[in-house]
Amino acid sequence: MAQFNETELTAAVVKSFEQTPNPRAKFLLQELVKSLHDYVSKTGLTFEEWEYAIDFLTRTGHKCTDIRQEFILLSDVFGVSMLVDAVNHRDRDGATETTVLGPFYVGEHKVTPHGTDVSESLEGERMFVQSRVTDLNGKPLAGVPVDIWHADGDGFYDSQKETYATEGAVSRARFITDSDGSFFFRTILPCSYPIPTDGPVGEMIMQTKRHPMRPAHIHFLVNAPGYEPLITHVFIEGDKYIDSDVVFGVKDELIAKVEKRSDPTMPDGKKADAPWHLMTYEFRVKPGGGMAPKPLGTKVAEPA
Ligand SMILES: [Fe+2]
């Protein structure tokens, strides 16, 4: 039969994937078809709406570059990124909670000595971050690469600025944990910031009267060999947007109290020129494997 009614059409498209050699790919494609068809039927999608959706996705793709990922942003604001995170981390066994990678991880962070001020060139209140990586029993893990990145005092990541190509990374570095699992660095106190609103995703957020803000945070990627890569943020307690993150990424355990200090020296014994803030947070990682995210612009292979 060459002609299908609405129900038969869904069944026919599902069946068309029957010969897919990879069973998981077959399952994913068939379920995708069912969900898409269900959405169209349920909403009675018009031609104009379908055309708008195609144009929206096209513009989303055109906005992507090697250092900007508008599709990750789209996944984030729809809560899809956090749902993928949730279904893949149902049992933490006491490991630090995870959250979204976000669209600004560019990978290939440069190994940086402990204590470095990663935001040296930026205006802002100074902060000292001290941290440690342990296993689930609290045993320190040495030699672990930890990538950190955060926005500047105006709410922009280095990769969003024109100067990125010439000046390189700012507020973005890799630290390797010491024998006691520790690492520490200086930076500025990050502030809450809007997701980019100069692309189709930001436009949608504004048009739908959502706010575009993320509460202040630092991103951490802890990638200990033999352990699950830990992709997370540490949020700053008291932020105005802590309960309404536009990407739904906050978890209670990831909120840190940042103390305001006026001690003349910082924890590494170096002089403080002005009052400063102290963030202390420890990461516990879970045995296992898994892939750390690849730098943006990397061609992603088909999953096994
Ligand atoms: Fe961020």
Summarize pLDDT for 233-274 with one digit per residue, the tens: 999 999 999 999 999 999 999 999 999 999 999 999 999 989
Neighbours of ion ligand 1 (CB under 5 A): 102
Distance from residue 172's CA to the centre of ligand 1 (Å): 11
Distance from residue 218's CA to the centre of ligand 1 (Å): 7
CB-based burial, 105-116: b 16+ in 10 Å, e otherwise: bbeebeebeebe
Q: Where residue 300 falls among pLDDT bands split at 50, 70, 90?
A: low
For the chain, the domains span 9-62, 70-284
Q: Where residue 52 falls among pLDDT bands split at 50, 70, 90?
A: very high
pLDDT exceeds cutoff 80 at 2: no
pLDDT at residue 68 in the model? 87
Distance from residue 282's CA to the centre of ligand 1 (Å): 19
Distance from residue 151's CA to the centre of ligand 1 (Å): 6
pLDDT by residue (tens digit) across 66-101? 888 999 999 999 999 999 999 999 999 999 999 999
Give the 3-state secondary structure of residue 61.
helix
Active site residues: 157, 193, 214, 217, 219
pLDDT at residue 108 in the model? 75
pLDDT at residue 13 in the model? 97
Distance from residue 10's CA to the centre of ligand 1 (Å): 40
Class of residue 269 by CB neighbours under 10 A (exposed 0-12, middle 13-18, buried 19+) = exposed
pLDDT exceeds cutoff 80 at 298: no
Distance from residue 52's CA to the centre of ligand 1 (Å): 29
pLDDT exceeds cutoff 90 at 59: yes
275 DSSP assignment: -
Distance from residue 42's CA to the centre of ligand 1 (Å): 35
**17-25, long-range: CB within 8 Å, 24+ apart, which pairs?**
24/303, 25/302
pLDDT at residue 304 in the model? 67
Q: What is the CATH number of domain 70-284?
A: 2.60.130.10
Q: Where residue 302 falls among pLDDT bands split at 50, 70, 90?
A: confident
Name the pairing type of β-strands 126-134 and 276-284. Answer: parallel
pLDDT by residue (tens digit) across 171-213? 899 999 999 999 999 999 999 999 999 999 999 999 999 999 9
Class of residue 250 by CB neighbours under 10 A (exposed 0-12, middle 13-18, buried 19+) = buried
Please, what is the average pLDDT of the chain? Answer: 93
Residue 147's alpha-carbon distances to 79, 118, 132, 144, 201, in angstroms, are 24, 12, 13, 10, 26
pLDDT at residue 122 in the model? 86
